[in-house]
A = this chain, B = another copy of it.
């Protein structure tokens, strides 16, 4: 299957960096459209699929949730979605990123402080174990 007009799934996978099995999974759950087949039953992909799969990969790598990716795709995907709607989804994602950063900053501070107080085996108690032990009675 080396037709100029379409790609086999392996070639699509190499082009987009998305796993063959993941591509089939995406088709099965409706994230990407079902492609036409050869008479032998093999899938034939075109430029639209190349674009959409690359887009999905980019969004996932930037931390957009699968639900957000689906939402953008249901707006028409990269070719048709309205900019203001995509921008709104991205802004929401940015809020989540900022909230996670704030959580991690708190956690980092707590861990660093506790580890600093930890004196190792010679001490009568262990600051890290004490920290983790706090939940013993709720």
| Contacts from A to B (Cβ < 8 Å) | 15-17, 50-51, 54-55, 57-59, 61-64, 72, 78, 81-84, 86-87, 90-91, 93-94, 97-98, 100-101, 104-105, 107-108, 110-112, 114-115, 118-121, 123, 126, 128-129, 131-138
Contacts and interface: CB of A to CB of B under 8 A. Distances in A.
A98 B16 CA distance: 31
The residue in A100, A105, A107, A128 that gathers the most chain B C-beta atoms within 10 A of its C-beta is A128
14 contacts: A16-B138, A54-B133, A54-B137, A58-B133, A58-B134, A62-B107, A62-B111, A78-B129, A83-B128, A86-B129, A90-B118, A94-B112, A101-B101, A101-B104
